Chains A and B, each alone.
Chain A
Amino acid sequence: MSEDKVTIKISKDVYEKAKQYIEKYGGFNSVEELVEFVLNEALSEEQGEAQRVYSKEEEEKVKERLRALGYI
């Protein structure tokens, strides 16, 4: 899994704000997760594919359940 990841630097200020956001609203386990989500969303919006907001792994999980239930 780790070889699929790269390191990105962001300003401390934004990082702190992101941390506070998560503390306040929850929904994300880490700043990393939030950053990935927001970026993904921005990019998929650009491509007109707003529904592709989940990671590959999560999507695989969804497909597994759909297959198990006979939907695909």
Chain B
Amino acid sequence: MVAMVSKPHGGRLVRRRATGKRLEALREEAKELPKIELPYDIAVDVENIANGVFSPLEGFLVQEDYLHVLYDMRLSNDVPWTIPIVLDVDPDEIVGVKEGDDVALTYNGKPIAVMRVEEIYGWDKKEYAKMVYKTTDTRHPGVAKTLEKKELLIGGPIDLIDHIESRFEKYLLWPEETRVLFREKGWKTIVGFQTRNAPHRGHEYVQKAALTFTDGLFINPLVGWKKKGDFKDEVILAAYEALIKHYYPKDVVVLAVLRTAMRYAGPREAIHHAILRKNFGCTHFIVGRDHAGVGNFYGPYEAWDIFDEFPDLGITPLFIREAFYCKKCGGMVNAKICPHGEEHRLKISGTKIREMLKKGEKPPEYMMRPEVAEAILRFDNPFVE
């Protein structure tokens, strides 16, 4: 495999974090500016933009880029981008604000960024849902969330002036940090792994399959809002710590979190997840079966097929079939390498694992490592209520 250095998406890592005198000036300015209060999901994305996670975005999309992303899955300069990063507002929130004005973006009443309002425009939320989620069915969590959004969008660059504290500060790394880290470790090829789950043997299998021909593995769980019944964020981290400690060689894994909301946009979100990891410095990205899917809204391999449309993505997707234990093969395998029938195969079921853990039971070893199960069971209630 050719060793390549991964370039940030769009060519350079965006940094819109004000520092020094400019920071002081912007903090002063923000006190006097019209304020727009952000929900958590959008506030953390402001910080993601400022720290280059969403490179090449410098702020929220203006209309031309928004429409390009919606219909062509690319920014107006043709750089691939599949999920519109937009800021919705009510008309009465921006009374008196004109294009060209600055506004302060606040979270919990505290200004976190100053935004230059380049454009204020209307949008068709149903059309957004149809294009991004491929459905307008409100049973889809992304659709429901979209239809509840406000009537106008405002686009323009942001400058970050404050950090939103995280419960997982220690695990919160930015692209400029992971890039230095990977280089310090001497890694040239790095495979990114997206997750919102505690690891079972199937996850370990795909990660190790990828790690067999890359230098390093970047495990990057999404933390933030989760559905009821999902693993709590702290449980996922503890479970991974146990797995890494007992089952990975030293110095081949970096574990860090990413604060951004799941969109459940299936194929489009798979591309989005790959772009974000490219910005962190990954050269490869593991795309799961039904990646970022929900219910039966997407076909199981739709999230693989979409990569054909992006030969210029700049990160190599790895499509690894899900693993099972084959009694005949005598180990973890997948359908591509095991010729045996269903009767020899023990499937790993996330639902079954959760049910057992809920009852305080350890799942069988072919499903989950005992050390991982123990780490999870140390929590009184490992699941989101």
Chain A contact residues, CB within 8 Å of chain B: 25-27, 29, 41, 48-51, 53-54, 58-59, 62-63, 65-66, 69, 71-72
A51-B181 in contact (CB<8A): no
Cα separation A62 to B5 with both chains bound (whole Å): 19
Which residues of the other chain, B, contact A69 by a CB distance below 8 angstroms?
Answer: 170
Given A54-B176, A66-B181, A71-B254, the answer on whether A26 and B281 have CB atoms closer than 8 Å is no
A residues in contact with B157, CB < 8 Å:
25-27
What is the distance, in angstroms, from A49's C-beta to the closest C-beta of chain B? 6
Which of the residues B8, B16, B19, B177 comes within 8 Å of A62, measured between beta carbons?
B177
A51 to B, closest residue via Cβ: B179
B1-24 interface with A by 8 A CB criterion? 5-8, 11-13, 15-16, 18-22
**Are B5 and A50 neighbours in the complex by a CB distance under 8 Å?**
yes
Specify which of B8, B12, B15, B177 is in contact with A66 (CB 8 Å cutoff).
Answer: B177
Set of chain B residues within 8 Å of A48, measured between Cβ atoms: 5
B22 contacts A62, C-beta separation under 8 Å: no
How far, in whole Å, are A35 and B322 apart by their CA atoms in the complex?
A: 49
Specify the chain A residue showing the minimal Cβ separation from B171: A69
Indicate if the CB atoms of A29 and B181 lie closer than 8 Å: no
**Measured CA separation A20–B298 after assembly (Å):** 47
B204 interfacial contact with A, CB 8 Å: no
Cβ of B384 within 8 Å of any chain A Cβ, yes or no, is no
Number of A-B pairs whose CB atoms are under 8 Å? 56
Q: Which residues of A contact B18 (CB under 8 A)?
A: 26
Q: Is the CB of B22 within 8 A of A50?
A: no
Which residues on the B side are within 8 Å of A27 (C-beta)?
A: 15-16, 58, 157, 159
Cβ contacts A to B, 25 pairs, < 8 Å? A25-B58, A26-B22, A27-B15, A27-B16, A27-B58, A27-B157, A27-B159, A29-B20, A29-B22, A41-B12, A49-B5, A50-B5, A50-B8, A51-B5, A51-B180, A53-B12, A54-B176, A63-B180, A63-B184, A66-B177, A66-B180, A66-B184, A69-B170, A72-B184, A72-B185
B163: Cβ under 8 A from any A Cβ:
no
B13 & A29 in contact (Cβ 8 Å cutoff): no
Interface of A is mostly: loop
Report B-chain residues with C-beta under 8 Å of the C-beta of A25.
58, 157
Given the known inter-chain contacts A29-B19, A62-B177, please indicate yes or no for A51 contacting B184, CB distance below 8 A: no
Give chain A residues whose Cβ lies under 8 Å from the Cβ of B179. 51
CA–CA, A66 and B173, complex, Å: 9
Among residues of B, the one whose C-beta sits closest to the C-beta of A49 is: B5
Nearest residue, chain B, Cβ from A66: B181
Q: How far is the CA of A26 from the CA of B116 in the complex (A)?
A: 10
Residues of B within 8 A of A72 (CB): 181, 184-185
Interface status of B149 (Cβ within 8 A of chain A): no
Q: Does B130 contact A (CB under 8 A)?
A: no
Chain A residues within 8 Å of B254, by CB: 71
Within 8 A of A (CB), among B236-281: 254, 281
Task: Output the least CB separation between B170 and chain A (Å).
Answer: 6
- Nearest Cβ distance between residue B290 and chain A, in whole angstroms? 32
Q: Report if B183 contacts A (CB, 8 A).
A: yes
Given A48-B5, A51-B13, A72-B181, 12 new contacts (CB under 8 A): A25-B58, A25-B157, A26-B157, A27-B157, A41-B12, A50-B8, A53-B12, A62-B177, A65-B177, A66-B177, A66-B180, A71-B254
- Are B12 and A50 interface neighbours, CB within 8 A? yes
| Min distance, Cβ B192 to any Cβ of chain A, angstroms | 15
- 9 closest A-B pairs by CB: A50-B7, A51-B179, A62-B180, A26-B159, A29-B22, A72-B184, A62-B177, A66-B181, A29-B20
Contacts of B159 in A (CB 8 A): 26-27
Nearest chain A CB to B89 CB, angstrom units: 21
Q: Are B180 and A59 in contact (CB under 8 A)?
A: yes
CA distance A58 to B179 in the complex (A): 13
With a cutoff of 8 Å between Cβ atoms, the chain B residues found around residue A54 in the complex are: 176
In the complex, what residue of chain A is closest to B177 when comparing beta carbons? A62
The proximity string for B residues 94-137 relative to A, scoring 1 for CB distances below 8 Å and 0 otherwise, is: 00000000000000000000001000000000000000000000
Q: Which residues of A contact B19 (CB under 8 A)?
A: 29
